[in-house]
Amino acid sequence: MNQQHPSVTATVTAAINAALSASANPVKTAALNQIIAQLRQLRVLPILVADDVQQAIRCVSTLAQYGLTAVEITLRTPNAMQVLAAVVKACPDVCVGAGTILTPRQLQEVQDTGAAFGISPGITPVLARAAADSSLPYFPGVGGASDLMLALEHGFNVVKLFPSDLVGGIKMAKALGGPFPDVRFCLTGGVTLESAPQLLAQSNILCVGGSWMCPAGLIEANDWNAIGQLAAVAAKAGQL
């Protein structure tokens, strides 16, 4: 009698459970599809690192004014969760997500702020399972094929490729497109205004992200005109 290898059985079981979980939460699926559609239209996702609530609100409002109506706020600063909650409340017309989610607890805290989505720089089995069970739309981070297989086991086929410049960028996206043709990538890490058009020409790259639209120096200087100009140029680059 043939006996299926335990690892294969576990993989199939995880994939089935992920599919059942997704199908059991049509609200999450609809929200996720809406966010993906918005990112597909914008092609450029600003990544904001901020620890001051008022500066963050002003920055996100400025980005939206110049065409960038989705933003990722990273959880890299001491006050990041409070900043996230305040921006979500103050900017209801912006698709505000949280980046640098590392633990299931952070995932829950992000969901409690009312954020539209969550993003991680990597993936672990524990976090992937928690995200699959959560009602928060979520994009795990991957650095290669093994990470991507883990993401797919839990039902995630839109992922963050990070750090893009160190893991191969467009070359990695092309390489992974062969065995994983239905996966779409958001590239972050080392992406610039100059490199964005070439990256976005690759068919399986959904969008690119970066902080060049809202650099810390301009935020600290409250130079919203300069940030607006950077946002306008980035928004235009996403439509080329």
Residues 81 and 108: beta-carbon distance below 8 Å: no
Distance from C-alpha of 10 to C-alpha of 129, rounded to nearest angstrom: 14
Backbone torsions φ then ψ of 41, nearest 5 degrees:
-80, -45
Residue 194 is among the residues annotated as catalytic for this protein: no
28, 160, 174, 236: which is the annotated catalytic residue? 160
Distance from C-alpha of 166 to C-alpha of 116, rounded to nearest angstrom: 28
28, 72, 174, 194: which is the annotated catalytic residue? 72
Going from the C-alpha of 163 to that of each of 5, 34, 52, the distances in angstroms are 34, 25, 26
Q: Starting at the earlier edge strand, list the strands of the sheet with 141-142.
A: 138-139, 117-119, 95-99, 70-74, 44-48, 205-210, 184-187, 158-161, 141-142
Residue 160 is among the residues annotated as catalytic for this protein: yes
> Mind telling me the catalytic residues?
72, 160
